[in-house]
Structure formats: C-alpha cells, structure tokens
Chains A and B, each alone.
Chain A
Amino acid sequence: MTSIAAHTTWMTGRQLRAIARQPAYVAIMLIQPVIWLFLFGSLFRSVVELPGFGAPSYLDYLVPGVVIMSALSASMWSGMTVLEEIDRGIMDRFLVLPLHRSAIINASAVLQSMIIATQSVIIALLGWAGGAHYAGGVPGLLVLIAASVLIAILFSAFSNAVGMLARQRETIIGINSFLLLPLTFLSTAFMAESLMPHWMRIVANCNPVNWALEAGRSAMSANPDWARVGVQGGGLALLAVAATALSVLMFRAYQKSV
C-alpha cells in the first residue's frame, strides 16, 4: 500500500511540475473563471429582480455556478494529457517500469482534485472580494469545494476513458463541445429552478452538474438541507466511482492493444 501512495505521489508531482512550467495554462485557469464571474455577474444582474428568483444578490447566486462550471470545463480535458502521453510513448515507458498501474489512474484524479480545489478557492475568494455573502460560512464553502472536486474526478475519469478508447483528439473535442453547454445550462448554474420550464427542471434533476450545484448552494445557504446535500453528494460520489471504474477498464483495454 505504501508504495502505491509513493508511486501516486511521484506521478502527481511530475504532472504538477509540468503545469507549473506552463504559465500560460495557469494564467488561463485563473483568468477564465474571473471572466465568467464578472461577465455573467453583469449580464444577469437584474434576473434576481424577477419574481420568484429567491436570492438577494446575483453574485451570491453565481459563485457556486462559476465554481462548478469551471470545474467541469477544466477537468473534461484531462483525456488530452493521457492521449499525448500515449502518443509520445511516455505511457509505454511507464508500463515497462515496475510502477503500480493504479498510480497512473490515481495520479490523474489527485492532480485534477488539487487543480480544481485551488481554482474553487480562488473563485470563492474573488466572489467574496466582489461583495458576495456566504451565509453558510466555511462549512458551506468546504461542501462546495468538495462538490467541485467530485465533478473533477467524475469528468476527468470519463475524459481519460474516452481518450484511451478513441485515441483521437477530435473525439474528446467533439464530446466536450457537445456536453459542456447543455450540462451547464440545463442546471441551476445561472438560473433559479423555479424560473425554468417544467421539462428543463426534470432534465436538471438528472444532471450530475446540477447535483453538485444544489449541494453546494444548499450548504452555503443560511439553512442547509443536509439530508439533500448528502443524497446529492452521495450520487456524485457514486458516479465518480463509476467513471473511474470505466477509465480503469479502458486502461486495461489499452494495455491489451499495445
């Protein structure tokens, strides 16, 4: 067990170092949420005045939306890294070393979790600086960050599975373009559920991105519905486990195809 942990640490460290050496990547990761936050914040400011929206300030409402959307849009590109490592022969080099196979899968999940947790904290701090109020305090924010991490694990594992199965960048790009906007907008990221058309509410209830949003938002409110937070968080965790299992299967299939 200890060696799995050590191998995972080395493999994660390698990728963290690679990211730290790509300042453009870090800059985009930090700037993009800021743009979302202030773009949507200005554009939709007056929606809170709609009867039945139910939030005092749009910024308060928006922060969880941007946190979860950013987690989704960043983690769903994870498969590109896997694909690049396969194409360069880096994956095969690791496979002929006495490396724990699970460390390769683990490292991707740990890396994504670290990136997204950092990103979520930064967005929350920016929102706070911009005047957002977090009635649920630190526990509420921690639940939001945990929800963003589960989204990251779920969608990075799914993306990795697609990368190893299809072995084509275009497939990942296509699937991501297809999924990002529907998953984001068929949720309460930017619009209160009470103002959605009926059919959209039904779809949103089946959308894991929405589970993450609702769990985070509820926990951040003055009166959290912890039972519901637990159910939605549990559902997310189950999906994250299922996506990870799928990526392990695809990893085995890749090893067979070498």
Chain B
Amino acid sequence: MTAATETSVTTQVYRVYIKATPKAIWDAITKPEWSERYGYGGRVEYDLRPGGHYRAFASEDMKRARAEMGGSPTPDVIVDGEVIECDPPRRLVQTWRMLMDVGTEAEGFTRLTYEIDEIRPGVSKLTLTHELEGASRLAMFLAGAMESMGAGGGWAEVLSDLKTLLETGESFHSA
C-alpha cells in the first residue's frame, strides 16, 4: 500500500429518512435476522457494550460468487470491529475494518457512528458518519466508486436498501 499522507477531510456522511421507529432501525442494524435481508446480505454479530466485538460475515451468495471466479476463498468474517458507545436505539459508535481485501485490511480500523432520531412519530432520521482517516481505499469502496466494476454501491446502496426493506417489508435487491 502507498502511504496515506493526505490530510484532507476524509469523513463520509450519509443521511436517510425512514418511516420506521428508532427501535426498528436499531434492530435492522444490529440483529442478524435483519442484516441478512438488505445491503450485502451478511449476518452481523454485535456484543452491544463498550469494548464488545462486532463481526459481519460473508453471505453464502457472496462466497459462491467469489468462488465462481476461482480465486482464494472468501473469509468468513468480512468486517470486524469493536463497540465504542452504545445507546439503544439512538446512537452506536464502533470501529470498522474491512477484511475482504488485503488493501483495506492493511488500512486498519476506521470509526463509524450511527445516529437515529425520531423526527415525528414513526418517522426517523438515520445519519451514518464514517471517519476514514488513512483509509482511502476503503473510502472508495464505501462511496460506491467501484460500483461499475461490480463492487456494490457502498453505504448509499445499503441505506437505500434498508429504507426499502423497513418501509415495504421487502428488500429492493433480494430478488
């Protein structure tokens, strides 16, 4: 990896309004039975207390797709991290490291914050702030810059899909 010498602001901020309670959004983020139904579709494992671990696992679809390309096997755990702050269902701060790619793994842990505010009954504002100092490669993935190559649309796609799932009961991308 090239050394990350850039000092520019490397935070990404995403916001979406969802017709759902903060509790429903919190569950969708932190519970495996929900995490499998949108975005990249992997199961998550959260130990929801400061210092507790976080892991996201590769879905079977993901493993199959990568195996079809005939390369090295997909790791079981594709993202790991640690819970820093946990205030359900309003605020979750954690570290986040992507393990699917040696480049992003070498960039190490980044800091991710979810904030959920109920703006009126049954409508919530979800703001995701990802601090990506020294993680320029990961930042490209998460911004969807590699989507045309099939790497997925990053956080924007995940949050759009989450909104669709919670509002319609069906994920846009689960065919």
A and B interact: no
Q: Which residues of B contact A (CB under 8 A)?
A: none
Q: Which residues of A contact B (CB under 8 A)?
A: none
